[in-house]
Structure 1
Amino acid sequence: MSTWLLPESLADILPAEARRIEELRRSLLDLYRTYGFELVAPPLIEYLDSLLSGTGGDLNLRTCKLVDQLSGRTVGVRADMTPQVSRIDAHLLNRAGVTRLCYCGSVLHARPAGLLSDRELLQIGAEIFGHAGFEADIEIIELALASVRRAGVAQARLDLNHPGVPRAIVDSDAALAGASEEVYDLLSTKDVPGLRALQARYPGLRPETTEALTALASLYGGTETIARARRVLPALPALHRALDDLQALVAALPGHEFSVDLADMGSGYGYHSGVVFSIYAQGWHDALVRGGRYDGVGKAFGRARPATGFSLDLRKLSGGLPPAGKAQAIRAPWGADADLVAALRRLRDEGEIVIQMLPGQPQRLDEFTVDRELVLDDGTWKVRAI
């Protein structure tokens, strides 16, 4: 086996793409700061019981595990940063009132989320803690949309859902106790035959539960889907509260175009408790952004807090954008002349890219267009066009 081969679903990022990803990171963190979000940086690994607190089985399956050589305890390489940020809010900051936190860092998945997905992501996100009202959800959704606009994504589409709808149906039938993850996977892929096959696998399953789940798989479209769900789904109090939450959020965001997919459980890792959303755009095979409300995750750290937020993968975002353009640069000769060194320092202080040509070595510059050169003219170093 060649030593330069990487494990499956991992990839190197080459210069032009790496530069654009870094520019996106800086731009989005600067955007979040204008909204009052404070930057935090959790560690890459944590003890497993902390890393998976308040989450579902999907996150456990995606988390790479190893033994800490100092303590002997099992640690995990983070597959999602949201639980870590919840721990920081609940345990370390421990503030009263509203806290806005943002973050950016690498996460690793033990297995890819899909056929076209990478296992290493550069996750960036923003979270609001301490406010249970839909005002926080509105701010988070507006900030998520502003994020993709700043990146140059045109015609982004906002998709809404509420995990309380399928949970209410599953929880209403004792025969599905312990089978929720399987049901949610079938709903997310809209596998109607698989949903109907549950009747044979779980003999005590009520026929009306099966009908409700198969009806849920077809409940997607515009905001009228919410009214249709009220008509065709069972009259369960928790289910109708979830639909009320969706309707209230739609009413609070006039001027936005929504789609609603009540069967899409997304990749919320089981911790979402309220309205969830995804942002889709032409050119990306999957959601660009996922977010929503996840009240109570901080309970595992000693302090349950209302919370809502979103995250996205900068590598995925960059990969669907048009090819990154080249930067303009100045070519300069190699030398230690004091006037040359001063000229180089001055140009770089002004933000110019100046590339000194090493003696006798050709240079291939995939990232730059050299359109000027630094030359000695009548005893003075000057920049002239090439």
Structure 2
Amino acid sequence: MSNWLLPENLADILPAEARRIEEMRRRLLDLFRTYGFELVAPPLVEYLSSLLPESAMVSDLNLRTCKLVDQLSGRTLGVRADMTPQVARIDAHLLNREGVARLCYCGSVLHARPRGLLSDREQLQIGAEIYGHEGVEADIEIIQLALESIEHAGVTGAMLDLNHPGVFHAIVQADPALVPLSDEAGNLLAAKDAAGLKELAARSGISATSLDALLALTGLYGQSEVLLRARDTLPDVPGMRAALDELEVLIQALPAYEFTIDLADMGSSFGYHSGATFSIYAQGWHDALVKGGRYDGLGAAYGRSRPATGFSFDLRKLSSGLASAARTRAIRAPWGRDPELVRIVRELRRAGEVVIQVLPGQSHSLDEFDVDREIQHRDGAWQVLPLA
């Protein structure tokens, strides 16, 4: 095997694309700051028991977390696959504030296995979280910021999709035979695989009522009338009415937004969400661009349960669906130590211009820059002149 080959679903990012991603990161963190979000930077690796709260140990998050042994302590470490639990730990254990905390972050995460055929295992995750407020106002702010973030990055025609994992969980908890199969059922439901759900019921003893409810969920998508159909179709089991009521409150609080509801969309989280969730889709991306929602109580694993809501997305994925990165105008300059040449180059760079000095005897191949001017010595002085 050639030593330049990378593992599957991992990729290098080349100059122009890397620059665009970095500029988007800066712009978005500046946008979050205008909303009052404070930046935190948790470590890439933690003890597995800290990185994966007990509620997440059997979830999809656990399966996507790479594990290794710490040679100093002998304990198992995890390379983070999601930064939200880390930020919940910081809020609960380190900041320990009484009121609302708005925290944002950006960093690399690594998945042990990709989410899909077209998914990368390494992502540059950026997100924002609000802790300490259980009202719908925090959810509205998070959704507004998520939509403004992707618009800020140049995405147009975004579509907002709502769901509530409590609907599915209510069906699962009402049927003991379905509880150990919840992950498999959730995956089939997300794919709207009615035949797969029927086969699962046939071999596992799931009740007819549960199967009917799961099959009904595969068709419960559309506009706000979905909630009316859900109340008529789904069984009135514990937790069902509360979940649908929470969705209705959120929808009524967002009259200016266009959205859809998909009660079969189980792909919105790593399993820790407790309330209304949302996904943002846009043309040019094969699946959800942004995922978020409410996850009250995640901080309990770190000693302090707090209401929480937030969102995150992958900057690398966002950039991959945009038009090719624009090249930056640049100025070519000869190599030399002439004081006047050095002064001009320094002043141009301080003014924000890109000045590329050509090293002696070398040519330059540039992906990121469009060299349209040159510093030349003409009429006894150094001048910036346009190139033909």
Contact 1:198 1:210 in 2 (8 A): no
Cα distance in 1 for partners of 2:162, 2:233 equals 19
Contact 2:103 2:128 in 1 (8 A): yes
Cα distance in 2 for partners of 1:123, 1:77 equals 14
3-state SS in 2 of match to 1:286: coil
TM-score (normalizing by structure 2): 0.98
User: Which letter maps to 1:41?
Assistant: A
Contact 1:107 1:122 in 2 (8 A): yes
Cα distance in 1 for partners of 2:291, 2:85 equals 15
Q: CA deviation at 1:26?
A: 0.6
Residue 158 of structure 1 corresponds to 160
Contact 2:268 2:278 in 1 (8 A): no
Cα distance in 2 for partners of 1:176, 1:156 equals 35
List runs of 5+ in structure 2 lacking aligned partners.
Answer: none
CA-to-partner distance for each residue in 1:252-306, whole Å, 9 max, x for gaps?
0112111100011114111000000000000000100000000000000000000
3-state SS in 1 of match to 2:239: helix
CA-to-partner distance for each residue in 1:158-210, whole Å, 9 max, x for gaps?
0000000000001001112322111111111111111112322222x321111
Residue 131 of structure 1 corresponds to 133
Contact 1:160 1:258 in 2 (8 A): yes
Residue 303 of structure 1 corresponds to 304
Cα distance in 2 for partners of 1:257, 1:167 equals 26
RMSD, matched Cα: 1.0
Contact 1:59 1:269 in 2 (8 A): yes
After TM superposition, the structure 1 stretch with the greater mean CA deviation from structure 2, 142-151 or 213-222, is 213-222
Q: Which runs of 4+ in 1 moved over 6 A?
A: none
Residue 95 of structure 2 corresponds to 93
Contact 2:268 2:279 in 1 (8 A): no
Contact 2:268 2:292 in 1 (8 A): no
TM-score (normalizing by structure 1): 0.98
Residue 384 of structure 1 corresponds to 385
Cα distance in 2 for partners of 1:152, 1:239 equals 38
Residue 193 of structure 1 corresponds to 195
User: Which letter maps to 1:354?
Assistant: V
Q: Identity percentage over the alignment? A: 68
Q: CA deviation at 1:344?
A: 1.1
Cα distance in 2 for partners of 1:260, 1:242 equals 13
3-state SS in 2 of match to 1:241: helix
3-state SS in 2 of match to 1:214: helix
Cα distance in 2 for partners of 1:122, 1:35 equals 22
Cα distance in 1 for partners of 2:346, 2:65 equals 46
Residue 360 of structure 2 corresponds to 359
Contact 2:162 2:279 in 1 (8 A): yes
Residue 8 of structure 2 corresponds to 8
Residue 49 of structure 1 corresponds to 49
Cα distance in 1 for partners of 2:141, 2:299 equals 21
List runs of 5+ in structure 1 lacking aligned partners.
Answer: none
The total of aligned residue pairs comes to 385
User: Which letter maps to 2:114?
Assistant: P
